[in-house]
Amino acid sequence: MKNAYFITGTDTDVGKTYATLAFMHYVKQQGKTVIGMKPVAAGCTLHDGKLKNDDALSLQKHASIQVDYDLINPYAYLKPVSPHIAGADNPVNVARVGQVFHSLQSLADVVLVEGAGGWYAPINDQQAISDLAHALALPVIIVVAIRLGCINHTCLTYQAIRASGLPCAGWVANCTDPAMLNRDDNITTIARLIDAPLLGILPYQPQADFDELAAQLLLN
């Protein structure tokens, strides 16, 4: 297990936070400390006069070490739209994210950095999530929502990660649709088409049990 990973998704709303929380519990089950970071979050609400994101709050809650919210989520935007639009008045500074990330690395054995949207989701007028991952120079984990279209989306995301020069540490099959037809066939097909290990299959759970989900994962 390396000391940090970047977790991206094949699209928005595929369960990146769900998978990140499962990995955080996995790391804790290995006897290591872990912090989850969500550098950019759009669709935030006011908590005590400060914009905060529900997913980032969950990462803060499940961390081994409690740190200030601003370190978990340095860029929190009000509107639930693409970060480059939501943050037009306060665009993401990748160098600042890097500084915060390195400060978290000094506090925990493992840091998991969750992206926003998909691999090419823009975070400012010039850069995308892919540029943020590249600046942090982290191995990438892909979260795949097993639903119609997932094979194409996974292959495209994997090829884009490889083209960026970053290593793909593997992918996670997140079973978001309990009625998905031929679910296992889709997972088998993806495993055949991309040269990255399947790190686990997260079953559909109406109420998430992250310790149980963590037992479905294996991160070398």
pLDDT tens for each residue of 68-103: 999 999 999 999 999 999 999 999 999 999 999 999
State the pLDDT confidence band at 2, using cuts at 50, 70 and 90. confident
Catalytic residues: 38
Quote the tokens at residue 177: 């649709």
The reported pLDDT for the residue numbered 1 is 67
What pLDDT, in 10s, does the model give residues 12-24?
Answer: 999 999 999 999 9
Amino acid at 202: L
Residue ranges of the domains in the chain? Answer: 4-32+93-214
Question: Which long-range contacts (C-beta less than 8 Å, at least 24 apart) are formed by 124-128?
Answer: 124/83, 124/84, 124/87, 124/91, 124/92, 125/84, 125/91, 127/92, 127/94
Tens digit of each residue's pLDDT (9 = 90 or more) over 31-56: 999 999 999 999 999 998 999 999 99
Asked whether residue 135 carries a pLDDT value surpassing 80, the answer given is: yes
Class of domain 4-32+93-214: alpha beta
